[in-house]
Amino acid sequence: MSVAADVVERLRERLGDAVAVVSDEGAESRLRSRRECVRETLEALLAAGYDLFVDLFAVDYPTRPERFELVYHLAQLTGPARVFVHVGVPEEDAVAPTVTDIIPGANWPEREIFDLFGVRFDGHPDLRRLLMPDDWQGHPLRKDYPTRGTAPLAPIVVE
Q: Can you tell me the distance from the alpha carbon of 147 to that of 71, in angstroms, rounded to the nearest whole number? A: 25
Q: Residue 22: enclosing H or E segment and its boundaries?
A: strand 19-25
- Amino acid symbol at 151: A
d(CA 40, CA 43): 5
User: In order of start, what are the domains of the chain with their CATH numbers?
Assistant: 3-122 (3.30.460.80)
What pLDDT digit, counting tens, does each position of 26-62 carry?
A: 888 999 999 999 999 999 999 989 999 999 999 999 9
Tell me the per-residue pLDDT of 62-112, one tens digit each, with 9 for 90 and over.
999 999 999 999 999 988 889 999 999 999 999 999 999 999 999 999 999
E-state strands within 61-103: 68-75, 82-89, 95-97
